Structure 1
């Protein structure tokens, strides 16, 4: 009876490029699934806080923040915020290529972040100018745009934006500056709140400087324009 000989297994050579590629794909898949899960979560649930709010709470001891649904916000406030920060909000998919090109042509001295990008930064990431944060922001913004409605993006934006030191969201801002709820904001009040958004710690909506008054007047004109030409249709009920 013939005796079976055991075949010795040959050890496969280590290929570092293949190994890195394999683990890179796995890591990317895990990060992508986490991003999708987080995007789906806040599409139906309201963020209880953000990283920046936690930082400010630690620095100040407390922050003023309370969520309010879009139905309880004066419609002019939504239009004023869009007119002030991202007039083409309804036309782009999260990244405004035209605004980015203009910012590059201007030497990078002007902002080009859309409302969608600001929401991603505020809700999922951190404040700062690092290339890592910018890359994550650019990658996550189209995902948020694909899953959330424009109305939801704007609703979250109005609720997590900073309006003064330790004052976050339109509910807290309306009462902080004018002593009223966001549903009762007048056109001028809404425009002044939108005018302080780029620099909330140095501008005041209730004691507006000449610049804030002029900027608010421009925002009112812009809000009327986007309402008339259809650029507010994606978030108006």
Structure 2
């Protein structure tokens, strides 16, 4: 598989009144096209910090993140981050005054994509998440699961190479969460997107190509026995 994103010795230290806190410690990680990697770990283990650095939203104290072989700290890569890397969060973050289609369209408007192309890409993205018939509805008229699907469509409308999701099912009931997990996994494998998802949800682990555990800022891959213990499958 083609490597898309790589982290080398990634470390993030935060200053605190009681002394420096190391949130992420010497993390090495590679993501390949079409691969779904899940990161698990207790609250405060550093998952969100890791994801924000991988997405270029925060800079590491030391180490580097490479996108297509280029360091995200390189000033010349800034203009492509929004096109090559997309993020999904715990809440959909939709603009309440806009319809589903208009919310999905926002990244394309920011990049001044021509109107005809915008309409085509928005329609494809909403169809991919099963919401073509809800394009004109506003967030308040959609269920929590449907709102998260709109958020996924908005992330995918730019056809990103990397998808980063931080607890995307945390605000959903278990049944809806499973549907969202299956949707993300299916889209990643169909589109050849490299994806990394942070989650506490054991059901998400069974959909992953690899499962990594973040403990006190250090990352390790879970073996079959440890994974079975986390998912309850033996």
Q: Normalising by structure 1, what TM-score?
A: 0.24
Q: Which has the higher contact order (CA 8 A, sep 6+)?
A: 2
Higher strand share: 2
Larger radius of gyration: 1
Higher helix share: 1
Q: Normalising by structure 2, what TM-score?
A: 0.24
